[in-house]
């Protein structure tokens, strides 16, 4: 097959284009070798760094934090010679990048749910306690804090042009001055933001939980466009990726499936296997195909398959989880032939952007020999957006990846970072590399069913391949990897050694404190409760649809006993006028759908939808869950209603 020769020429072209892009000033899309200040290395989230890494790799140091957990979507942030790590226990640590020795720690009033960001000697960390904190990177002293919404923050900040851009879980989007923390502008959107924003050309791009991508003018906060609603349930944990290719700028967004992950993978597998007349009901036939010479395919077969995939996604819109938008208008720019691959119903990691504007991505295909796991038909390739074509990347030797290099299964989350010609493949178990010039695939660190070669910490839950997988930070010859609630530092070009896993003694560190979590007064709590009850009473709501993946499809408030219980609990704390409305509503429910009968189970497709995302009509059925629990289970709600609302006569 001539794919290797073609790819070498492509990589050479990439290097030539890189020099031209540097001359044109498009340096914002690549990280320098001096720092890793934000997720994916830069505000465009390209995941490309200009440095050359050469094996072997030495494990220089390992650190964990006693009793503290790190999010699977987090990355180490590196700047000013330090590695900055935030924890779910509300601590932000600075470790010496060379040695792993701790500098300082900062304590907030709530969990940190994503990585901080670094700029101009400051570390900026949004917190679930509702504050954004800016710290001196050298000392850890608080420079300023901004009190945002009560819902707090679960995204990482985007820093560009002297401003900090961040969306809140309560539905606001902020632009803060990096020096003072004063707000430049604020926009109330009304849907939660759980995605980190991207920045390019004076604009900020971010996806809300309504799965609409919004473009903000970074200077004014004006909104030039809002995209159509994308398919899926969420775009959380990751970020849009900005791509410049053939004179146009694109925004790439990934979402997760709205149907169960097992069903999504099975349907996509069946579609792919049907085209090559392989019976996918028998895994042995699929495995035989994967190991056969026919699985290598050729450029013509690759293109035919990808044309069919794009057509399949247009015919079945909920199969699409990879979206390409025009940065100037927000209109969709074609349908990329990239099907879902991730873990735990999660959002897949977005692609990496090579200097010439092509994308390195994981995708599903019957071709290549990358498959290795229970959900096969996975490969690594380079996507050309203008051509809407993926060039399959072959690796040298064998009909499956070598052990501990690439886990070619569609149900485990992986991320990618590119250092010049070396693609780093980040998995829960292993860190490995694929050389884009020689096609050599080799392990760097870790082994199957571990966390980078270590067992799980007793206080940290098993990550189980999701719901997201952060990338690594590459700074000079060092790779910083956050896995299993540990931070690992590896050095390229030095003999392999094993470092001791050491705990950071937080009590011995200089500590700086942020604001305490804001508590509400009794009056504020009652006001918030009354507002929530008023919203519940304002209309008839449909049951809430959630597809968490492993647990299977679920509907909440699908039985009116849930409504009886919720309103009865709130009842004593409501003003008299609102209590009267509750009495009327529950009396009507008792008359029309008595909670002690089977009629308490509500139609799934009737009423106002509660979800921010779109739910396909064919999912609003009880297919597979026809056996409803006995109404006797509603006895507690009935009892609570009788006691709290003084309805014992019923």
Instruction: Please state which of the four CATH numbers 2.40.50.100, 3.40.50.2300, 3.30.1280.10, 2.140.10.10 is assigned to the domain occupying 3-513.
Output: 2.140.10.10
Question: What pLDDT, in 10s, does the model give residues 490-539?
Answer: 999 998 778 999 999 888 898 999 877 677 899 999 999 999 999 999 99
pLDDT score at 18: 42
Among candidate residues 416, 322, 319, 399, the one with its CA nearest the CA of residue 49: 416
Question: If you average pLDDT over residues 117-128, what whole number do you get?
Answer: 98
Question: If you average pLDDT over residues 602-627, what whole number do you get?
Answer: 90
Residue 398 binned pLDDT confidence (cut-offs 50, 70, 90): confident
pLDDT score at 371: 95
pLDDT score at 25: 37
How many other C-beta atoms can be found within 10 angstroms of the C-beta atom of residue 228? 12
Q: Which of 190-199, 344-353, 360-369, 458-467 has the lowest mean pLDDT?
A: 458-467
93 within 8 A of 77, measured Cβ to Cβ:
no
Q: In whole angstroms, how far apart are CA 146 and each of 134, 434, 515?
A: 9, 43, 10
pLDDT score at 461: 75
Question: If you average pLDDT over residues 75-85, what whole number do you get?
Answer: 98
Among candidate residues 539, 396, 446, 493, the one with its CA nearest the CA of residue 7: 396
Question: If you average pLDDT over residues 593-600, what whole number do you get?
Answer: 92
Among candidate residues 417, 356, 419, the one with its CA nearest the CA of residue 383: 356
The H or E element spanning position 183 is strand 183-188
pLDDT score at 33: 58
Question: If you average pLDDT over residues 103-111, what whole number do you get?
Answer: 96
- The domain limits of the chain are 3-513, 522-644
Angle between helix axes 261-275 and 283-290 (nearest 10 degrees) is: 60
For residue 247, is pLDDT > 90? yes
- The average confidence (pLDDT) of the chain is 93
**This prediction's pTM:** 0.94
60 within 8 A of 489, measured Cβ to Cβ:
yes
For residue 1, is pLDDT > 60? no
For residue 24, is pLDDT > 70? no
Q: What percent of the chain has pLDDT over 70?
A: 94
- DSSP string of 302-359? HHHHHHHHHHHHHHSGGG--EEEEETTT--B----S-----STTPPPPPPEEPTTS-E
pLDDT score at 12: 44
Question: If you average pLDDT over residues 380-385, what whole number do you get?
Answer: 98
Question: If you average pLDDT over residues 300-313, what whole number do you get?
Answer: 98
> Helices in 225-296 by DSSP H: which ranges?
261-275, 283-290
The larger pLDDT score, comparing residue 181 to residue 624, is at: 181
Residue 14 binned pLDDT confidence (cut-offs 50, 70, 90): very low
Residue 626 binned pLDDT confidence (cut-offs 50, 70, 90): low
Question: What pLDDT, in 10s, does the model give residues 542-566?
Answer: 999 999 988 888 999 999 999 999 9
431 within 8 A of 425, measured Cβ to Cβ:
yes
For residue 56, is pLDDT > 90? yes
Q: What SS3 class is residue 568? A: helix
């Amino acid at each position: 097959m001539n794919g290797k020769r073609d790819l070498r020429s492509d990589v050479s072209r990439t290097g030539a284009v890189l020099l031209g892009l540097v001359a044109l000033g498009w340096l914002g899309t690549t990280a320098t070798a001096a720092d890793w200040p934000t997720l994916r290395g830069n505000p465009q989230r390209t995941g490309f760094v200009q440095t050359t890494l050469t094996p072997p790799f030495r494990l220089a140091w390992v650190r964990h934090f006693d009793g503290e957990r790190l999010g699977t979507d987090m990355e180490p942030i590196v700047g000013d010679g330090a590695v900055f790590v935030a924890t779910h226990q509300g601590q932000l640590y600075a470790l010496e990048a060379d040695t792993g020795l701790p500098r300082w720690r900062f304590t907030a009033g709530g969990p940190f749910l994503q990585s901080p960001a670094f700029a101009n000697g400051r570390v900026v960390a949004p917190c679930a306690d509702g504050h954004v904190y800016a710290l001196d990177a050298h000392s850890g002293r608080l420079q300023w804090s901004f009190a945002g919404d009560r819902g707090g923050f679960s995204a990482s900040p985007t820093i560009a042009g002297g401003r900090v851009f961040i969306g809140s879980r309560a539905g606001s989007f902020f632009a803060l001055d990096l020096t003072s923390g004063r707000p430049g502008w604020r926009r109330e959107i009304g849907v939660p933001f759980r995605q980190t924003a991207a920045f390019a050309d004076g604009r900020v791009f971010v996806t809300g939980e309504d799965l609409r991508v919004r473009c903000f003018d970074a200077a004014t906060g004006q909104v030039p466009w809002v995209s159509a609603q994308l398919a899926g349930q969420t775009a959380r944990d990751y970020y849009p990726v900005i791509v410049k290719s053939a004179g146009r700028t694109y925004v790439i967004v990934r979402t997760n499936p709205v149907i169960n992950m097992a069903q999504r993978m099975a349907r996509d597998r069946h579609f792919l296997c049907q085209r090559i007349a392989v019976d996918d009901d028998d895994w042995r036939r699929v495995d035989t195909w994967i190991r056969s010479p026919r699985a290598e395919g050729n450029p013509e077969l690759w293109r035919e398959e990808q044309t069919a995939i794009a057509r399949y996604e247009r015919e079945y819109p909920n199969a699409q989880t990879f979206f390409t938008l025009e940065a100037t208008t927000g209109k969709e720019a074609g349908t990329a032939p990239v099907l879902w691959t991730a873990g735990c119903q999660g959002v897949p990691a977005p692609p990496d952007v090579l200097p010439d504007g092509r994308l390195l991505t994981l995708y599903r295909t019957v071709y290549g020999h990358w498959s290795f796991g229970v959900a096969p038909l996975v490969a690594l390739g380079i996507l050309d957006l203008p051509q809407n074509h993926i060039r399959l990347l072959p690796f040298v030797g064998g009909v499956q990846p070598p052990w501990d290099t690439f886990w070619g299964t569609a149900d485990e989350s992986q991320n990618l970072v590119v250092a010049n010609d070396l693609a780093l493949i980040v998995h829960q178990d292993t860190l490995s590399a694929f050389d884009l010039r020689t096609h050599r695939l080799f392990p760097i660190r870790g082994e199957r069913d571990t966390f980078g070669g270590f067992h799980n910490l007793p206080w940290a839950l098993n990550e189980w391949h999701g719901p997201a997988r952060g990338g690594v930070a590459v700074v000079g010859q060092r790779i910083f990897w956050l896995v299993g609630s540990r931070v690992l530092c590896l050095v390229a070009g030095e003999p392999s050694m094993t470092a001791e896993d050491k705990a950071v003694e937080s009590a011995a560190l200089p500590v700086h404190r942020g604001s305490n979590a804001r508590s509400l007064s009794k009056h504020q709590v009652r006001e918030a409760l009354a507002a929530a009850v008023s919203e519940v009473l304002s209309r008839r709501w449909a049951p809430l649809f959630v597809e968490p993946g492993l647990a299977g499809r679920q509907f909440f408030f699908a039985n009116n006993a849930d409504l009886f219980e919720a309103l009865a609990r709130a009842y004593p704390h409501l003003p008299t006028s609102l209590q009267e409305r509750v009495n009327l509503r529950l009396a009507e429910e008792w008359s029309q759908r008595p909670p002690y009968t089977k009629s308490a189970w509500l139609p799934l497709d009737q009423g106002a939808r509660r979800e921010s995302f779109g739910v396909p009509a064919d999912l609003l059925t009880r297919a597979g869950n026809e056996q409803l629990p006995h109404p006797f289970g509603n006895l507690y709600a009935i009892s609570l209603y009788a006691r709290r609302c003084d309805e014992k006569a019923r």
